[in-house]
């Protein structure tokens, strides 16, 4: 990944420290406990009652401050039957997905406009190269669940339908 | 940028060497001359007689092999009156633009869906953070010309209209 | 992470190409299909019938060649009741764990000899800073399963008991 | 380039924030406007009425704070007839030049003391590998103008005549 | 190495500035003198009167603040006759050793459990790949002295006997 | 340093493999022995019978192929009484020096033309930020010896007097 490497064992983010810097300043090491290194951010099922039938829940540095400087994060993607996580890119990370439930079509498009996709079932993996447009669609019966892992603590996401039609002027 | 740094003074790409590697293998140093380090790839005006009224001409490592391992490249963007370089992202680079001719609206959208844009004239600069969706539109009279520079020898481009509607299955 | 960034959309590893390089040479792009980007390496339960009652199954670049240049990988860690994934370090990556089944104690030791640990249950996350000694132990009833993700395509592992007592001279 | 990658969409430099850090702290995102992402730093012709008949005007992070964390910058090099931008190195960047006006001799010297040079005219490019000694000389009639782009927001410059003869003790 | 590259000529660490960041904030440039760039941290012989008959003295960023952002550091390893610098890893650096005095056995173990070792005498070098378990033992007559250099300003060390038996709970 | 990080435990350079790449291809792991990881390149005193009264002997990847991908190297600088290692820059590394013998003046010049220097004796350290012009001069009685370490396996050197007056056209 591209996140700059850590220069000490850890630097748990202090999300409100001033001034802000590239990434985040560190919470005082003396205030860090084992609880900082764990998170329940992905424990609950996301609410898929929306137009896309999908919900992305992020465990990035904003939700899990211990990820600061460590260059890793995870999302859970809940998909109702037929649900779609619409085309998007992550500006700062590659992505490795594991399907935990259901039958999911995952695809990406290269900068040369070649489309690669595959239907995956429980336990199968799919990798999306850094910065490429991709999506996930539930093509099976019932709910589906994917864990997506990233080589950045804050990969970001540019969701194409949102970006094209609803950006704030 | 994210391009891995050079491990020698230069490594002019041998675009056809086998096996291929991350980036490109190097042409034998003994075969390298001063001509390798220059390029006329951006000397000619791009043909803007198309639906978008725009043409991007690239001087990336594919067009200018000496850029290999050096982490820099440039494009020229020619825009007819009213022409648009449609929304796209560069998966592997930030971009710094200089307007050489005309009056151009340049804008980008953050991952939080905030839209920043500005009308620029000759000699003015605009920077587009890595991986974000952006576009350029000629909003003046007559042709416009922009030079865009990148901190990658092959930034790539995912053009949204193309990506959404015409990828090869 | 520290893996050098990709210089093209993808470079699926050709594990047997010669000469070898830092990472791996790329399979010809024309031979790459959607199947390359998926893997079933983690689909099956690992056999925990061994002295430690644990089994690590790796989906790194050696098992899943498309990860080459992309800087991500995953392992599954199966733990029988009471099983231990013994103390080890990953020389080239930070690690983010998600517990998929059971009750697991995860801990690491800093370079200043401070020990951080926590008992986790299904859906909970734990992060292990790059290069630090850590372990996972099943402290619940029945089997446990953890997915560990890394910001390197080949994080490596130095397993301390093995390293100290059984290295080949 | 070698600049550490951005860990958020942008971090416009606050040049006076305290304490200083590697690079610069970020201006509060709420205070950032579209104006921050543009700059007129290179709009005006540099004054070449000096011993070298040349003037370098920089649009680096000090002049254009939005470049902070983005790893790109540009200079304009104005050269009077016969003017010379004397031998110098950039400690932290490769450089890609485009000639916008005139006829210019550009050359660099490798660490093995091989000299590569070429005369360039309008629209032509020349690349200077990171850290190598190079110069630009106007060898045509009238003024010349070059835009130089870098893969660092603050490439720095060690100008050899200045360095050798006029450093402050 | 993996330390993020410097974004200015230097950033001498202010070890007590608040808030802390990845690495350290910079001392004001106006307060920096030539003395900051030198250190006597390794001038004195380490006291080897202990169970291992060895003493590591570090000139890392904590002892020599000018190393901040520069990605280099050194240790001296004093070994009494028969003394051992016990098995350890550096989570954030490769190591290059030069023997200045005595006869020393240096060895490391790969992640594939292959053991490489060699007896070295004055002036000889040995390199230890990043993150691998290694040790140094004095196998000659009298004292021995090794200088170890790193491509990180704070490589850290996980000492295995200490880690396994004496971490603070 | 900026050298891209290793993607496996080691990749001993095969200096003559074809095609060449950024850095070097790897010797087959099966052919690697413990001898590869050691070197006597710096064991002998350099011949200082020349105009400068100095001799730099390098243990970089060309002399010590195991350094490939590991991002570290060392030089020895022998200085006769009054000898000078003339002003030079290393385009790809910071440098950390330790004086092993004699009394030495070491200095560097920033990109802002500030000069920092200090006289050092046995055991003292001096750090030279990446890419800056620096020199070493023996200002004591008798010979002097310095070990210089770098965070690159091939830092390169642009020696200013040589560069300015004797480059091959």
E35 φ, ψ (degrees, to nearest 5): -60, -30
Average pLDDT over residues D121-148: 97
Please check whether residue A50 lies inside any domain of the structure. yes
Nearest-angstrom CA–CA distance, A154 and F61: 36
| F12: in domain | no
Give residue-wise pLDDT tens across range E113-159: 999 999 999 999 999 999 999 999 999 999 999 999 999 999 999 98
Evaluated on CA atoms D61, D64, D65, D69, the torsion sign reads: negative
ipTM confidence: 0.95
pLDDT at D164: 58
Please check whether residue C35 lies inside any domain of the structure. yes
Q: Which two tokens stand for residue B53?
A: 């009224």
Distance CA A58, CA A61 (A): 9
Tracing tokens 């494009």 back to the chain, one arrives at B75
Does residue E110 lie in a domain region? Answer: yes
Residue D166's pLDDT is what? 57
For residue B6, being part of any structural domain is answered with no
Q: How far is CA E113 from the centre of its chain?
A: 23
Distance from CA of F111 to the nearest CA of D (A): 5
- The answer to whether residue E121 neighbours chain C at the CB level (below 8 Å) is no
Q: What is the pLDDT of residue B160?
A: 78
The beta-carbon neighbor of E154 closest among A7, A18, A69 is: A7
Interchain pair D7, A156: CB under 8 A: no
d(CA E113, CA C158): 8
Token digits for B82? 């009213």
Sheet holding D103-109, edge to edge: D115-121, D103-109, D133-138, D84-89, D158-159
Q: Which pLDDT tens digit goes with each residue over D9-50? A: 999 999 999 999 999 999 999 999 999 999 999 999 999 999
Summarised one tens digit per residue, pLDDT across range F83-134 is 999 999 999 999 999 999 999 999 999 999 999 999 999 999 999 999 999 9
In the prediction, which pLDDT does A159 show? 85
Q: Using a CB-CB distance cutoff of 8 angstroms, which residues of chain C are in contact with residue E114? A: 167-168
User: Would you state the pLDDT for residue F159?
Assistant: 85
**CA-nearest residue of chain F to C61?**
F7
Token pair listed for A120: 């995956």
Average pLDDT value for chain B: 94
Chain E residues touching A6 at Cβ < 8 A: 22, 92
Q: How many CB atoms lie within 10 A of CB E111?
A: 23
Longest dimension (CA), chain D: 51
Average pLDDT of every residue of chain A: 94
Q: Which two tokens stand for residue D9?
A: 């969409």
Task: Compare CB distances from E74 to F59, F96, F110 and report the shortest one's residue.
Answer: F96
Domain hosting F83: range is 29-160
In a domain, F42, yes or no: yes
Confidence check: pLDDT of F161 > 70: no
Query: What is the arithmetic mean of pLDDT over C71-99?
Result: 97
> Is there a contact between F152 and B7 if contact means CB atoms under 8 Å apart?
yes
Mean pLDDT of chain C: 94
| Contact present, D147 and B145 (Cβ < 8 Å) | no
Under 8 Å CB-to-CB from A80, ≥6 apart: which residues?
Answer: A48, A49, A53, A54, A138, A143
Among A152-161, C30-39, D95-104, F136-145, name the one with the lowest average pLDDT: A152-161
Tell me if E3 and F5 make a contact (CB, 8 A cut-off): no
Contact D121, D106 (CB under 8 A): no
- Render pLDDT for A91-117 as a digit per residue (tens, 0 to 9): 999 999 999 999 999 999 999 999 999
Residue B47, both tokens: 């043909």
- Interface check A23 vs E, CB under 8 A: yes
Q: Tell me whether E132 touches chain F (CB under 8 Å).
A: yes
What pLDDT was estimated at residue D169?
47
Model confidence over A15-28: pLDDT tens digits?
Answer: 999 999 999 999 99
State the Cα–Cα distance between residues C141 and B147, nearest whole angstrom.
Answer: 64
Structural contact between residues D8 and B131, judged by C-beta atoms closer than 8 angstroms: no
**Average pLDDT, integer, range A2-26:** 94
Residue A116 belongs to a domain with what CATH number?
2.60.120.10
Looking at residue D1, its pLDDT comes to 43
**Which chains have 3+ CB pairs within 8 A of A?**
B, C, D, E
At residue C164, the pLDDT reads: 58
Average pLDDT, chain E: 94
Count of domains for chain D: 1
Q: Tell which wins on pLDDT, F165 or B53.
A: B53
Whether residue D161 is predicted with pLDDT greater than 90 in this model: the reply is no
- Which D positions 54-93 lie with beta carbon below 8 A of chain B? 59, 64, 66-67, 70-74
pLDDT over 70, % of chain D: 93
Report CB contact under 8 Å: F19, B23. Answer: no
What pLDDT score does D165 carry?
Answer: 56
DSSP chain A: --SPPPSSS---B-TT-SSB-SS-PBPPGGG--GGGGEE-TTSSPP---STTSEEEEEESTTT-GGGTTT--EEEEEEE-TT-EEEEEE-TT--EEEEEEESEEEEEEE-TT-BEEEEEEETT-EEEE-TT-EEEEEE-SSS-EEEEEEESSS----EEHHHHHHH-B-
Taking contacts as CB-CB distances below 8 angstroms, the residues of chain F near E91 are: none
Residues with Cβ < 8 Å from D151, sequence gap 6 or more? B1, B3, B70, B71, B72, B151, B152, D1, D2, D3, D71, D72, D93, D94
Q: Between C43, C71, C120, which is nearest A94 by CB?
A: C71
Query: Quick check: is D14 in a domain?
Result: no
CB count within 10 Å of CB C67 equals 32
Q: What is the pLDDT of residue D160?
A: 78
Question: How much is the pLDDT for D149?
Answer: 98
Task: Tell me: pLDDT of F168 over 60.
Answer: no
Q: Name the more confident of E169 and D133.
A: D133
Q: pLDDT digit string (tens) for C103-134? A: 999 999 999 999 999 999 999 999 999 999 99
Measured CA to CA in angstroms, residue D128 lies from B32, B69, B72, B73, B151 at distances of 14, 12, 10, 12, 14
Specify the higher pLDDT residue, A3 or E160: A3
Contacts of A163 in chain D (CB under 8 A): none
In the three-class reduction of DSSP (H, G, I as helix; E, B as strand; rest coil), residue B30 is classed as: helix
What sign has the CA pseudo-torsion E15, E17, E19, E22? negative
List average pLDDT for each run of 10 residues in chain B, which is 169 residues long.
86 95 96 98 98 97 98 98 96 97 97 96 98 97 98 93 58
pLDDT of residue F164: 58
pLDDT per residue as tens digits for the range B119-140: 999 999 999 999 999 999 999 9
Q: Which of B4, B8, B22, B32 to mutate to test the interface with F (most CBs of F within 10 A)?
A: B8
How far apart are the C-alpha atoms of F129 and F92, rounded to whole Å? 11
How many residues can be counted in chain C? 169
Show residues of chain E in contact with C167, CB under 8 Å.
109, 113-115
D10, part of any domain: no
């Amino acid at each position: 990944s591209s996140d700059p490497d850590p220069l000490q064992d850890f630097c748990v983010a202090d999300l409100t420290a001033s001034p802000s810097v590239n990434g985040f300043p560190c919470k005082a090491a003396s205030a860090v406990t084992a609880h900082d290194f764990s998170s329940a951010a992905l424990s609950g099922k996301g609410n898929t009652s929306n137009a896309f039938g999908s919900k992305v829940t992020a465990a990035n540095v904003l939700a899990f401050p211990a990820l600061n400087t460590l260059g890793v994060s995870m999302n859970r993607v809940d998909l109702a039957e037929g649900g779609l996580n619409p085309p998007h890119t992550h500006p700062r990370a590659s992505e490795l997905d594991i399907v935990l439930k259901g039958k999911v079509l995952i695809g990406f498009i290269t900068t040369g406009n070649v489309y690669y996709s595959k239907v995956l079932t429980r336990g199968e993996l799919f990798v999306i190269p850094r910065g490429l447009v991709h999506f996930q669609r539930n093509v099976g019966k019932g709910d589906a669940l994917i864990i997506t892992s990233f080589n950045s603590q804050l990969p970001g996401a540019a969701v194409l339908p949102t970006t094209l039609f609803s950006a704030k002027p």
